[in-house]
Chain A
Amino acid sequence: MKEIVVVSGKGGTGKTSVVASLACLIENKAMVDCDVDAANLSLVLSPRVIEEKDFTAGKKARIIEEKCTRCGICRDMCRFGAISQDFIVDPFSCEGCGACFFFCPASAVEFETGLAGLCYICDTPSGDPFVYAELFPGEENSGKLVAMVRTEGKERAQQAGLSRILIDGPPGIGCPVISSITGTSLALIVTEPTASGIHDLERIVQLARHFEIPSAVIVNKSDINQVCTDSIEKYCLQNNIPLLGRLPYEKMVSAAQRQGKSIVEYAPDLPVSKAIRDISERIISIYKEQ
């Protein structure tokens, strides 16, 4: 099984748009969306949900007013300031450690798991299995939901006899990103030639190194700032990171997205679509490498 994960560090560099196009061009693979906070790949893959799985992780405390003697031990124990003077637990500050539950002398604290999200197992018109998830607004444990989505994706790929998985990753370099990239074969970084894009590229490259994942770079909107594009290329060369291609800025990408399509489907003759096809050839050869 070979997993390639598309990440960016900075948000909005065009990760999902690139993945949507690659999904049309690479055959015999399963698709996985690991951006469980804000999953967008489903908006362009026209999936049909065949199974919905509950995601439960982490408990939250709740104080039962009738049993509470207002002794204050829970407030002393809580390191997160989650219990008010009136002995009400703020669910958004509660980290679910259970200190209040274990130390309440009146057994007035309930400590239960709740439903924190849903994982969707889908098929798509192209026949690819596709797995994505929705973490409920404001919930914790996105890294664990990412792990669940990846496990489900691998299972579906195995069942379908597929050995390739293409993962759309989340932005940033924290918990859900770490969970998305660990154990993959390649971190494909979509960056943009802006001061912020370069800054964030360096951080995601360091993260991939930290976990010993090889990385490769695609420069999106490469013509909006030639100076920045040059410095990205120089950076890649110095750090021995393959540059898989440059994609010109194209306004039609938004128009394609509004139609629920990738740019290679919507406007196959544009230079950007040609550039993505070239990149897809290189990715297919990476999948084929042993």
Chain B
Amino acid sequence: MRVKNGEGIVIDLTGMNIAMASGKGGTGKTTVAVNFAWFLAYAGQRVQYLDCDVEEPNGHIFIKPSIRASSASRVMVPVVDQEKCTSCGECGAKCQFHAIVNLPGDTLIFPGLCHSCGLCGAVCPTGAITEGTRDVGIIEQGRGVREIEFTHGILNVGEAMAVPLIKKVKMERKDQFINIVDAPPGTSCPVVATLNGSDAVIMVTEPTPFGLHDLKIAIDVARLLNIPTGVVINRDQGGYPPLSDYLETSHIPVLAVIPEDAEIARHYSRGDIILESLPNYIDTYLSLATNLEKLLGPVSNSRVRRA
């Protein structure tokens, strides 16, 4: 779908999977993600927002979806038939996650440590291990402001396994939509699971030493995954040379700059969409879309990719 917007710029992002990440928490990832989703919907595009920050999902506060479907997200967990088990110890010896302890006459499974790989069942010589399931969280879907399609995962409190739930949320990406995927903070496996397979990643950063330190690690993750990356500088207070120097020497484009603005903070704190309350920022998101298209363009056409 090609939509002509206000300044005659054509955006064509349908089917794209755009991830939002940051490294450091609280830089404005979700704010930019929900407002960008809103902007694209406002420009006539079909948008889906997927919240992969399953530990602390916040997108629903702004998108305000009416939830039409809710389902438990389950992972496989082995079940031992103690009658058939000979306590040979093969499963516990092979399990890389220390999720099985073999005692004489008893084989104990620790579901919280299990990665659902199925190896224990495959190595059991007596067929004593079958596959059960356990809940790790829920997935909810609905439609929110400006008809934005919405999916999020909510990890059960006390549950350590975020990655399987993140993968389930990502399975809801749709080709006929622009998919905006909100990542958790950090730079380890939940972020990798979120970013992997994205067409581009938008890193939202703040011009502080903490923000820059964590941005560099997050950009390293995106590079390892070979995903084109651009940056949105949030809460700009007139430039931060260490950040601009880093971005220049690393050839990372700045997609948009959002100033420090108490009005934005106030609307954010209430759970408002910023662009609804402060339409003067619509142009900022228009330039974000334009620059994002440039970031995607050479990659899809010519495989030119920055090192």
Contacts and interface: CB of A to CB of B under 8 A. Distances in A.
Given A195-B270, A206-B157, A99 B61 contact: no
Contacts of A95: 115, 117
Given A38-B23, A171-B25, A224-B269, A43 B213 contact: yes
A97 B116 CA distance: 9
B122 A99 contact: yes
Interface of A is mostly: loop
B185 interface: yes
Interface string A212-248: 0000000000001100100000000000000000000
Contacts of A125: none
A174 B159 contact: yes
Given A43-B209, A171-B56, A195-B271, A137 B217 contact: yes
Interface residues of B, number: 60
A138 B187 contact: yes
Interface in A148-163: none
Contact of A143 (B118, B123, B155, B160): B160
Contacts of A260: 209
A142 B55 CA distance: 15
Interface stretch (A4-12, A63-71, A268-276, A278-286): A4-12
Residue among B23, B55, B262 having the largest count of chain A Cβ atoms under 10 Å: B55
Contacts of B221: 137-138
B188 A138 contact: yes
A135 B187 contact: yes
Nearest to B223: A137
A10 B265 contact: no
Residue with the highest number of chain B CB atoms closer than 10 Å, among A142, A195, A197: A195
A178 interface: yes
Contact of B25 (A12, A93, A135, A228): A12
Contacts of B269: 192-195, 197, 224-225, 228
Given A12-B27, A80-B117, A175-B162, 6 more contacts: A9-B55, A11-B185, A98-B119, A172-B162, A203-B55, A207-B157
